[in-house]
Amino acid sequence: MNLACNIAGIPFRNPIVMASGTFGFGQEYARLYDINQLGGIVSKGLTLNPRRGNTGTRIWETAGGMMNSVGLENPGIDAFLAEEMKFWETIEPVRIANLGGSSIEDYVLGAVKITKDTGERHNTHLRGVDMIELNISCPNVKEGGMAFGIKTEVAREVIREVRQATSLPLAVKLSPNAENIVDMAVMCEEEGADAVSLVNTFSGMTIDIHQRRSVFSNLYAGLSGPAIKPIALRMVHQVARQVTIPVMGMGGITSASDIIEFIMAGAEVVQVGTYNFMNLRAGENLLLGLHNFMEQENIQSLDEIRGIIG
Amino acid sequence: MHTILSNERIYDNICLMTVVGDFQAARMGQFYMLRTSRDAPLLSRPISIHNLEQDRMQFLYRIAGEGTRLMAELRGGDSIKLAGPLGNGFPQVKGRIALIGGGIGIAPLLYAARQLDKPDVYLGFQKQPYLTEAFTPYANQLTVQIGGSILEEVNFSHYDYAIVCGPLGMLKEAARMAEGLETKVYVSLEKRMACGVGACYVCSVMNKNGNRKVCTDGPVFLAKEVEWHELSL
């Protein structure tokens, strides 16, 4: 049985990639199971400077889902490269750095730092970042993030600049809140992105009716979990039909059959997010389920089923 | 999966669950992430160690929402999913120690009272006390108060250490009362969590030295290091 996938020449041992913001830098879960079984890991969203994140309530459960308003709390790119890379040097899955920002300049400087660091590591035969996932879709940071992810022509400028700033494979993480997510994906391909990942969380709202105010200090927050899966799947299907670059599909995956659905819709690999909170051994569990499904259905390679939904 | 031996509602919306398993790694003040076999609600619930005797773990919890309500429906013989032990736990300090609990905040203090050397124990309740007699064998002195603030009973300057668990307002007040004293005050903080293992940054609190995660850097913090004005559940 062959679960191997490939994005921009980077081999993934299987299609299971842990989504940004739900897996830290992997170390926490490495204490619970063998994360080297995973296809890839996407880092917590990184910004040029450290961020303390949003104040107030950061998480709220909703029917079939959850909303988060973490607000890109992270140690900053320098600290990531100095500290977290020590662990990343030792792991097998594809290492993807998620890069957020609030200005084009920040995105470019961040990409340059990561690229330079990786070059230096490669020169000394160490492992570095394998891929950058550009986050133009964080709904929880006022001044930026998603602002770039709504209008295609605004996003184009960011992607063009970052593309020129890095020789690393570049994926762009798209927002389901985009005016037109298919146009957005097509633009990413035009600008030289190596992949698109979708979808980030849906901008949503919950009101505390006793306090008569939003639950979140930022007013809106990002919805994830099983509740969004059918919409995410539809968007992945629409995008996969219109681009030739690989799609990393995500949104509410909690089972091996969910993974199969995203692959049938055209995803090259999938990302698993919220499920990591429901099951701390999510990766192990999903991989086992995937093996079982393929054995039962007598599928030798994911290529047999990828994108079969026309 | 762990087997529940018993799960009783002991007072109003307060429940005591006894689970059997291998809990050798567990220390006082740590917690477990608990969930039923259902997928909803999505997230597990962080619940502190109330008591531990060999392979019997006890969780004392308040029904506060859907997750704990479903937990309370479980009966002896049913299964529950546990992840842990998690968090830093209480420090194994020596000296004159006060353990101070408010309401369901008494939960992690019983096991602490057993691990520490005869602390003075102060327990405060809004209406009716529960499980206070369990502390008697391990307390140098046990003070129980109904209504008002249990903190009024505590002379902080009398202690080398105070360990406090209770509502946010009580923790803040304890921190304020111990200002300028030699007494080291430790508080056990509560925050909504998603992963419980330090990966999601949902339970961050502002600390004098930067952000800290309640799940892995805490839940126990030195009161004087917490940025109290920034804190909310």
Q: What is the pLDDT of residues B37-78, one digit of tens each?
A: 988 899 999 999 999 999 999 999 999 999 999 999 999 999
Q: Establish if B155 touches chain A: CB-CB under 8 angstroms.
A: no
ipTM for the whole predicted complex goes beyond 0.85? yes
* A99 annotated to bind ligand: no
Of the pLDDT bands very low, low, confident and very high (cuts 50, 70, 90), residue A146 is: low
The CATH H-level superfamily of A5-304 is: Aldolase class I (3.20.20.70)
Residue of B nearest to A226 (CA): B42
Predicted pLDDT at B77: 96
Domain segments of chain A: what residues?
5-304
- Candidates A284, A302, A278; CA nearest to A226 is A278
Domain segments of chain B: what residues?
2-86, 97-230
User: Does residue A232 carry a pLDDT above 90?
Assistant: yes
* B45 annotated to bind ligand: yes
The DSSP output letter for B233 is -
Q: What is the pLDDT of residues B123-178, one digit of tens each?
A: 999 999 999 999 999 999 999 999 999 999 999 999 999 999 999 999 999 999 99
HEC sequence for A176-195: CCCCCHHHHHHHHHHCCCCE
Q: How far apart are CA A18 and CA A256, in angstroms?
A: 14
Q: What is the pLDDT of residues A236-256, one digit of tens each?
A: 999 999 999 999 999 999 999
Mean of per-residue pLDDT scores for chain A: 95
Q: Establish if B44 touches chain A: CB-CB under 8 angstroms.
A: yes
> CB neighbours of B20 closer than 8 A, spacing ≥ 6?
B2, B3, B5, B55, B56, B57
B2-86 has which CATH code? Answer: 2.40.30.10
Do A132 and A114 form a contact (C-beta atoms < 8 A)?
Answer: yes
Mean pLDDT of A81-103: 95
Q: What is the pLDDT of residues A199-215, one digit of tens each?
A: 999 999 999 999 999 99
Do A108 and A162 form a contact (C-beta atoms < 8 A)?
Answer: yes
- Candidates A226, A232, A159, A154; CA nearest to A194 is A159
Mean pLDDT of A167-194: 97
* B150 annotated to bind ligand: no
Q: What is the pLDDT of residues B208-224, one digit of tens each?
A: 989 999 999 999 999 99
State the amino acid at position B19 in one-letter form: V
Q: Are A22 and B39 within 8 A, CB to CB?
A: no
User: Does residue A70 carry a pLDDT above 90?
Assistant: yes
Q: Establish if B168 touches chain A: CB-CB under 8 angstroms.
A: no
Q: What is the pLDDT of residues A117-144, one digit of tens each?
A: 999 999 999 999 999 999 997 666 655 4
Of residues A140 and A160, the one with the higher pLDDT is A160
All residues of chain B having their beta carbon less than 8 Å from the beta carbon of residue A23 are 199
At the top level of CATH, which class does the domain B97-230 belong to?
Answer: alpha beta
Task: Identify the residue whose tokens are 């000296």.
Answer: B95
Predicted pLDDT at A138: 66
Q: Establish if A278 touches chain B: CB-CB under 8 angstroms.
A: yes
Phi, psi of A36 (to 5 degrees): -70, -10
Q: What is the pLDDT of residues A29-66, one digit of tens each?
A: 999 999 999 999 999 999 999 999 999 999 999 999 99
Residue B33 half-sphere exposure, CB side, CA atoms within 13 Å? 22
Predicted pLDDT at A137: 77
Q: What is the pLDDT of residues B75-130, one digit of tens each?
A: 999 999 999 999 999 999 999 999 999 999 999 999 999 999 999 999 999 999 99
Of the pLDDT bands very low, low, confident and very high (cuts 50, 70, 90), residue A102 is: confident
Identical fold between B2-86 and B97-230: no
State the amino acid at position A3 in one-letter form: L
Burial class (CB in 10 A: 0-12, 13-18, 19+), B7: buried
- Candidates A70, A174, A246; CA nearest to B194 is A70
Q: Are B83 and A22 within 8 A, CB to CB?
A: no
Nearest CB among A24, A32, A59 relative to B192 is that of A59
Establish whether the linkage from the previous residue to A93 is cis, with ω within 30° of 0.
no
Distance from CA of B118 to the nearest CA of A (A): 35
Residue A138 appears among annotated catalytic residues: yes
* A40 annotated to bind ligand: no
The predicted model scores a pTM of 0.95
Handedness of CA A222, A226, A228, A233 (dihedral sign): positive
**Token pair for residue A5?**
């996938």
With a CB-CB cutoff of 8 Å, which residues 115-134 of chain A face chain B? none
Do A287 and A253 form a contact (C-beta atoms < 8 A)?
Answer: no
Percent of the residues in chain A that have a pLDDT greater than 90, as a whole number: 94
Nearest CB among A23, A32, A65 relative to B42 is that of A65
How distant is the alpha carbon of residue B8 from its chain centre?
Answer: 19
Per annotation, catalytic residue among A138, A188, A240, A272: A138
Cα first-last separation, chain B: 29
Predicted pLDDT at B233: 62
